[in-house]
Structure 1
Amino acid sequence: MGKVHEKLSDRLRAFIEAQPVFFVATAPEQGGHVNVSPKGYADTFSVIDDTTVAYLDLDGSGVETIAHLRQNGRITIMFCAFSGPPNILRLYGTGRVVTPGDAEFSGLLTRFGSHPGVRSIIVVDCERIADSCGFSVPFMSFDKDRTLLDEWAERKDVQQRRTYRAKNNRESIDGIAGLAPEETDPVTQHS
């Protein structure tokens, strides 16, 4: 059954590294829409230390996570085993958005694989690390990552990505501020 952990042990780190997908959940302070996003590309997630993790935030259709984190910081990341022994791991914490203009961005960026369309890095201080059985999670096989998001970003020049972000990433679906105008300039480097 479930157990709360003080830190991300070697066993939990190995479990995280073995998962090809993770899920991110955030919500606005009051009312509004709860957001749950699946994230692929295993090289976009990094365990920084015993209670801190980060993931690479790539261009996407919305900006819910960034908007919610800037409003209240609450975030949960979930990993679940679709193969091997059943397990679900949830990392509950406080997240923050690190954008290319922030001093720590370049150092964090080195922790991830190469991807175009880098929008920000989400850093999470884990306040609760808990796993549970996952007995009802189905067995599913992983074939390979979809490369469509990277391919989409590669086809866009800087102005096209800037325009896309200005149109789609300035605020959440509930009207909460997302990326500021100066943050919509695409990173000119890959992660």
Structure 2
Amino acid sequence: MATQYDRIEPPLARFIARQNIFFTATATGDSRINLSPRSTDALRVLDDNRVCYLDLTGSGSETSAHLLADGRMTIMLCSFQGPPMILRLYGRARSLFHGTPEYAERLAASYDGEAPLGARQIVELTADLVQTSCGYAVPLFSHEGERDVLTRWAMGKGAEGLVAYRAEKNAVSLDGLPTGMPA
């Protein structure tokens, strides 16, 4: 039932645009596997093989550590409404950290230069395999809206507090791998 593509075909890009959530998975050969849910508000299809998402400050930064050490990432989207489908983007990714020229360029090109206070990086994936599968067993869910808890938390910390938090909590992974995040 799976179909493989060498690029993000236009119907798949439209599928991505209709979803409300996606999941990222990363690991190294010796680390724990990290799997994280993310809002598609921050996801952008850049071209036939590249996507990016704006990543907000969180309790850890496993993705950054895994990308620095290994580079592999899978992004998965699945339809919780409408026709069933699962879409996976397999490839290699990199972190564009807040405060770097690459981050500023991608932010300007893909997010109109606007980022929420808690933004810490943009993750850019280059897909070498795009795969769809049926999604027949994915349950139906209704989307109620986005949570504002992380936004309110970031506002409470403020810009300087977020820098200090990232230095304390986001410098290494659960497995002690460096994230490469600037202090």
TM beyond 0.5: yes
- Show the counterpart of 1:37: 36
**Pairs within 5 Å for 1:1-191:** 1-28=1-28, 30-40=29-39, 42-110=40-108, 111-112=110-111, 114-180=115-181, 183-184=182-183
TM-score (norm 2): 0.93
Alignment size in residue pairs: 180
Contact 1:169–1:179, Cα closer than 8 Å, also in 2: no
**Residue ranges of structure 2 left out of the alignment (5+ in a row):** none
Percent identity for Structure 1 against Structure 2: 39
Q: Which amino acid letter does the alignment assign opposite residue 15 of structure 1?
A: F
Task: State which drifts further: 141-150 or 69-78.
Answer: 141-150
Q: Deviations over 1:36-67 (max 9, x none)?
A: 00002x32000111001111111011110000
What is the CA–CA distance in structure 1 between the aligned matches of 2:64 and 2:120, rounded to whole Å? 10
TM-score (norm 1): 0.90
Q: Which amino acid letter does the alignment assign opposite residue 31 of structure 1?
A: D
Q: Secondary structure at the match of 1:177?
A: coil
What is the CA–CA distance in structure 2 between the aligned matches of 1:39 and 1:100, rounded to whole Å? 18
Q: Deviations over 1:97-150 (max 9, x none)?
A: 111343222221132364221101101110100010011000000011111111
What is the CA–CA distance in structure 2 between the aligned matches of 1:156 and 1:89, rounded to whole Å? 36
Q: Which amino acid letter does the alignment assign opposite residue 16 of structure 1?
A: I
